[in-house]
Amino acid sequence: MTTGRNNTLIHLIATLLTHLLLTLATPARAQSIGTPFPSNFRNTQTNKIEGEIHMSKFFLKIKQGKTVKVMQIGDSHVRGNIYPNTTGKTLKNFFPHLEYTHYGINGAWAKRFYEQDMIARVAAQKPDLVIISFGTNEAHGSAINESVHSQSMLTLTDRIREKCPGVEFLFTTPPGSFISRRTTVRSRGRRRTYTTSRTPNANTGRVARSIVKFCQSHKMAVWDIYTIGGGDKSACTNWLNSGLMNTDAIHFLASGYALQGKMLGEAIHKAYTETAVSGSQTRMMHEPTPREQQPYKSVQGF
C-alpha cells in the first residue's frame, strides 16, 4: 500500500515538473521563430543580437516593470523614419512600458554625433539604451581606417555615457549597398548616351566587421544585419534582387526598411528572453582622440 502511494506521488511530482519545464521553455522557443527574409535571400544567418549580456541593465528594468527609454541615432536610414518607427512599434508590442525616439541626419558619420549639440540632444531623452546605426557613409568614403573608426565610436559612446550614466548601447551594422558608375556609351555631337553599372560595395563588409570588433573589444551589443542578411557573398545582392532597395542601390524601399525594423525589434526581444538578467556594469577605456578620418570629397552623403 505504501509503495503504491509513493509511486503515485513520484508520478505526480514528475508530471508537475514536466509541465513547469514546458511552460518555462515555450516563450524562448516561440521567439526562435521570427519574421523571415524573402525566400530568395541566400547565405543568411540567425537573427540575433551578439553580446546581449551587455544590455542586462536595460533588460532588468524591463523585467522589473519599469519604464525604459530607447533612442536610435544614425544616418539617412534612421532619418527616413520607417526603419526606426517599425523598430519602436515592434518593441512596444513586446514591452508596454517602453518609450522609443530616434534622430537621424542625412550623410552623417558616427563622428557627427559626438559633437556637443548631438550629445545634448541624446542626453535630453535620458535613454536607458542608445541604438547606434551608422556605417553606410563610412563605407562610401575613403578606405576604412579601422583604428580611426574604432576611436570615433569610442568617443561617441564615452561622451554619451558621460551625460547619461548607466546607459547601454546597441550598435547595428550597415545592411549593404552598391557603388554606381555612369559611363558614356555613345556620343554624337552634343548628344550622349549613358549607362549605369552597379557593383556591391566591398567596403560595407569592412565597416561591418570593424563595428563588430569594436563591440567585442568594448563589451557592447551589436546587431550585425550585414552578416545576418548574407554577408560578403550575398548581403548586397539579396536586398537588391528581392526588390527591397531604392533605385540608387543605397537606400531602401518602405518594405525594406519595415523588414529591417521588425527584425531588429524581434532580435532585441529574443535577446531579452534568452539573457540571464543582471545588474553588472561595463567599464570602458578612455584614450585620446586621434586625427579624424575624412570622407571622400567627391561622394555625397547618404
pLDDT at position 186, please? 61
Rounded to whole angstroms, the Cα distance separating 169 from 154 reads 11
pLDDT at position 107, please? 79
pLDDT at position 64, please? 94
Q: Over the stretch 120-150, which tens digit does the pLDDT of each residue have?
A: 999 999 999 999 999 888 888 777 899 999 9
Q: Over the stretch 62-115, which tens digit does the pLDDT of each residue have?
A: 999 999 999 999 988 999 999 999 999 999 999 999 999 999 888 788 888 889
- Confidence band (pLDDT; 50, 70, 90) for 193? low
pLDDT at position 161, please? 97
Rounded to whole angstroms, the Cα distance separating 175 from 51 reads 19
Residue with cell 527591397: 244
Mean pLDDT of 174-182: 86
- Confidence band (pLDDT; 50, 70, 90) for 24? very low
Residue 199: exposure state from Cβ atoms within 10 A (0-12, 13-18, ≥19): exposed
The rounded percent of the chain whose pLDDT value lies above 70 is 75
Mean pLDDT of 28-40: 68
Cell numbers given for 101: 525616439
Mean pLDDT of 241-269: 96
* Distance from the Cα of residue 21 to its chain's centroid: 32
Q: Over the stretch 221-235, which tens digit does the pLDDT of each residue have?
A: 999 999 999 999 999
Cell numbers given for 85: 518607427
Helices (H), the chain: 2-31, 56-63, 76-79, 82-94, 116-125, 136-139, 146-163, 203-217, 225-228, 231-241, 254-274
Residue 225: exposure state from Cβ atoms within 10 A (0-12, 13-18, ≥19): buried
Mean pLDDT of 164-174: 97
In 3D space, the residue among 155, 158, 164, 133 whose CA is nearest the CA of residue 69 turns out to be 164
User: Are 144 and 207 within 8 A, CB to CB?
Assistant: yes
Rounded to whole angstroms, the Cα distance separating 125 from 255 reads 29
pLDDT higher than threshold 80 for residue 272:
yes
Global pTM?
0.78
Q: At what angle do helices 2-31 and 254-274 cross, to 10 degrees?
A: 150
Written as one letter, the residue type at 257 is Y
* Mean pLDDT score across all residues of the chain: 82
- Confidence band (pLDDT; 50, 70, 90) for 206? very high
